[in-house]
Amino acid sequence: MATPLSLRVVEAEARVYRRTWRGSVASSFLNPVLYMLAMGLGLGALVDANMPGGIDGVSYLTFLAPGILAANAMQTGATEGAWKVMGGIFWAKTWHARLASPISIEGLVLGHLLWSTGRVVMVSVIFAVVIAAFQVAPLFESLLAVGPAVLLGAAMVSATTAFTVRLKEQAGLPMFFRFVVLPMFLFSGAFFPISQLPNWLQPVALITPVYHGVELARSIVIGAPPAVTWWISTAYLAAWIVGFGLLCVKPLRKRLMP
């Protein structure tokens, strides 16, 4: 029962999304274009001039592109897991309405995770196309790298949702973005190898999901084996998706079905 009705939740979200899809798709294109221009032509030129051998043997932009593809998927996942949930349970209380229908808490959570992951797919595919258009990497490899990026994005949807449904006050979310999402975005290997981090910080970067998503995406684009064996990283991200997904259920039940 939970599965087919969770698809109805996906459908409902799509109906909501349809209202703003144009702006959303446009900014999904603009975002990577701006990154490619600023980081590639501006910063990248500078880095490449100072590092004749390149980073990991490739130009900075080629190093960077799969990294931001993944980190951007992470941000998208966090955004979907945060504000939409906040709207559903705090503001419009549309999730309360859903639960007066045959939809169960599990179906609601599953539907939300599915839709949000779908959003990550959309954003990441567009990102990959832009990377290929800038001739930073071939289209095929770029699209392959969407796989780990989506895995990472989905892990972040689960984790952020599990966080949001536990919030007593809305103020927790901006803090979450400032102190968790932004540092993960900047320091987990997307912009520079984590070997640049102070020694004590490296293990911290290693346990973030971003590091694993970035490494997997990059290894596909560069064609070099990742620092951590691919199946360990994959299993780790999958564990985040399932683990935090399950952790959404109980607090949500407490909140929506008190």
Partner 1 sequence: MNLHDPRVPNVQPRTGTRRVPPTGIVARVSAIAIHAHALSKRFGDLIAVDAISFDVKKGESFGFLGPNGAGKTSTMRMIGATSPISGGELIVLGLNPDTDGPTLRSQLGVVPQENNLDEELTVHDNLMMYGRYFDMSRAEIRERIDELLDFVQLTEKRDSKIQALSGGMKRRVVIARGLINDPDLFILDEPTTGLDPQARHVLWDRLYRLKQRGVTLIITTHYMDEAEQLCDRVVVMDKGRIVAEGSPRALIDEYAPGEVVELRFPIGVLEEIGGQIQDLASRTEVLADRALVYTGDAEQTINTIRESSLEPETVLARRSTLEDVFLRLTGRSLVE
Span from 11-19, 23-31, 37-45, 140-148 in contact with partner 1 (CB under 8 A): 11-19
Kindly state whether residue 114 participates in binding partner 1, applying the rule CB under 8 A.
Answer: no
Span from 7-15, 27-35, 49-57, 61-69 in contact with partner 1 (CB under 8 A): 7-15
Among positions 84, 98, 112, 119, the unique one binding partner 1 when judged by CB under 8 A: 98
Span from 15-23, 30-38, 46-54, 233-241 in contact with partner 1 (CB under 8 A): 15-23
Residue 227: both structure tokens together: 């620092």
Q: Where do the H-state alpha helices sit in the chain?
A: 2-17, 21-35, 45-50, 60-86, 94-99, 105-133, 139-164, 172-176, 182-187, 202-207, 209-222, 230-256
Mark 55-94 with x for binding to partner 1 (rule: CB under 8 A) and - for no binding.
Answer: -------------------------------------xxx
Alpha-carbon Rg for the chain, nearest whole angstrom, is 19
Backbone φ and ψ for 163, nearest 5 degrees, come out as -70, -50
Among positions 3, 16, 25, 243, the unique one binding partner 1 when judged by CB under 8 A: 16
- Min. distance of Cβ 84 from partner 1 in angstroms? 12
Kindly state whether residue 97 participates in binding partner 1, applying the rule CB under 8 A.
Answer: yes
Q: Are 153 and 179 in contact (CB under 8 A)?
A: no
Write the CB contacts of 123 (distance below 8 Å, at least 6 apart in sequence).
Answer: 28, 72, 73, 76, 153
Among positions 22, 23, 100, 171, the unique one binding partner 1 when judged by CB under 8 A: 100
Under rule CB under 8 A, which residues in 202-241 are in contact with partner 1?
none
* Gap between the Cα atoms of 117 and 77, Å rounded: 7
